[in-house]
Amino acid sequence: GGRGHGCAPPEPKPISYWYREQPVGSLAHCGVFQHLSAEVDQFVASVDHHIKTKEGARREQMLCVLRALILAFFEENRKKYRRAQADQPIGVEVFGSYSTNLFLPTSDIDLAIVNVELPAADPHPLAYDFTQELLLSIAEWIDPRSAHNERDHPELHEWISGVQFIPAKTPLLTVRTTTSVEGHTTQIDISVVTGKHHGIQTAKLVQRYCEGLPTLRPLVLVLKHLLSQRGMNKPFEGGLSSYALTLMAIAFLQTPQLYNNAHTDVGQQLCSLCAFYGGVAVPSGAHLLVPKHINGLGQIVPVTFFDYNLLGISVRPPHEQQQQQQGQHHERPPALFSLVPFNGPLDGSRLCVEDPMDRTNNVGRTAFNISEIQRTFRLAYGVFSTPCVCCVGASPPRQCSNLLRRLFLY
């Protein structure tokens, strides 16, 4: 007794070390989408506040130190490592989520070394061996225990806690750095731009998508945190890469009937996206007409949710997206969701997401744990669409204003 139908106070466990718990406001009689939109806005504001006030300056300072160290390495070894273009300097550029502003406090930072001359013959084995040798040499150079760093950069002992070479498809040098006064770490991944490295161009493309789709950033930030909490954000462990997740969100947003053409309602978009990729019919009841080609004959198949066994994703280019928003239509617009195989390899994976920078690259190929990812999307939709216990039977009817908290702490 005593509490009636009032909501229980929020649990003391924080959503994350950087999350600022604040009341959403008076939304007692609003619908679930309005509640969810307000909570997403608060979540994004919390991300921005923490990065700006707690870690942003220190993170930028660490990046400046690393850049300077790497450039000093090339200056010291200028006879061994030459410029690919003589009139351009060797450089170190940020790409990935940090450069596109799709960055959480727990996200990695991607650095690319550009304009290094590769071996004259550039078949993969030679380029790979060259890149591996280069990154291992840089690892020794930036080691806080090296003589020149002990002398010139003693602060590196406080900043760098570990350096490791990762022999991935694109070789990486990972640097663990302490980027906050609380001791939380940020991983910085250093790679070398070769013929198959599209990271910098990809970041510019994603920025264009963010400019044309205002709700893309809040959607991606919430979904990245959700997957991260469940350990499903690491491609090398079968999770979903940030790039693949972003392309999935773009394709969804480019299909307005899936969220009832509510272009600015991020709550409705988030709920509908989780339903669609969770294997549940979207709340609007919409369906897609997906082209299917069998023996040269075209068919149209109605689809109510994303079937990972049958469908592939191919996003529309930003200029066509803008033309569509302006009411200009193409006679044959590219399919965002099509029955696989699409213009790219199946390579045995259950998630097919075509890379707009390289149509032969399936960026979903490493997500072998896609069934758990789908289950997570479905769980999120269930949280958003099911009233919490403290609101069942309330008079007047209302929605609980802690939907994201319930989801993240589920």
Structure confidence by residue, pLDDT tens digits, 1-56? 444 444 554 444 567 778 776 665 544 445 788 889 999 999 999 999 999 888 88
In this structure, is residue 108 part of a structural domain?
yes
| Count of CA atoms in the C-beta half-sphere (13 A) of 346 | 10
Q: What is the mean pLDDT of residues 371-375?
A: 95
Measured between alpha carbons, how far is 373 from 394 in angstroms, rounded to an integer? 33
Tell me the mean pLDDT in the region 140-157. Answer: 90
In this prediction, residues 363-388 reach a mean pLDDT of: 90
- Packing angle, helices 32-50 and 216-229, rounded to 10: 80
As a whole number of angstroms, the distance between CA 114 and CA 85 comes to 10
Q: What is the pTM (predicted TM-score) of this model?
A: 0.85
Whether residue 214 has pLDDT greater than 70: yes
pLDDT digits (tens, 9 = 90+) for 64-123: 989 999 999 999 999 899 898 999 999 999 999 999 999 999 899 999 999 998 766 545
Residue 353 parent element (H or E): strand 352-355
Structural domain boundaries, residue 116: 27-388+396-407
Residue 6 covered by a domain:
no
Check residues 178 and 240 and name the one with the higher pLDDT.
240
pLDDT of the residue at 326: 56
Residue 307 forms part of a structural domain: yes
β-strand partners of 300: 291
Quote the CA–CA distance of 268 and 290 in Å, as a whole number.
Answer: 23
**Averaged pLDDT for residues 163-191:** 85
For residue 14, tell me if it sits in a domain. no
Q: Does the residue 261 lie in any domain?
A: yes
Mean pLDDT taken over the chain: 82
The kind and range of the H/E element at 319 are: helix 318-325
What average pLDDT does range 338-361 have in this prediction? Answer: 71
Residue 18 maps to a domain: no
On whether the CB atoms of residues 404 and 39 are closer than 8 A, the answer is yes
What integer pLDDT is reported at residue 288 of this predicted model?
A: 82
Give yes or no for residue 340 having a pLDDT over 80.
no
Tokens of 282: 């979207």
- Of the pLDDT bands very low, low, confident and very high (cuts 50, 70, 90), residue 325 is low
- Whether 379 maps to a domain, the answer reads yes
| Domain presence at residue 267 | yes
Percent of the chain with pLDDT over 70: 77
Q: Concatenate the DSSP letters of all residues of 244-303 into one string.
A: HHHHHHHHHHT-GGGGTT-TT-HHHHHHHHHHHHTTS--TT---EEEEEEETTEEEEEEE
**Which tens digits make up the pLDDT trace of 224-282?**
999 999 999 988 889 999 999 999 999 999 999 999 988 899 999 999 999 999 999 99
Span 178-194, average pLDDT: 81
Structural domain count of the chain: 1
Domain harbouring 235, CATH code: 1.10.1410.10
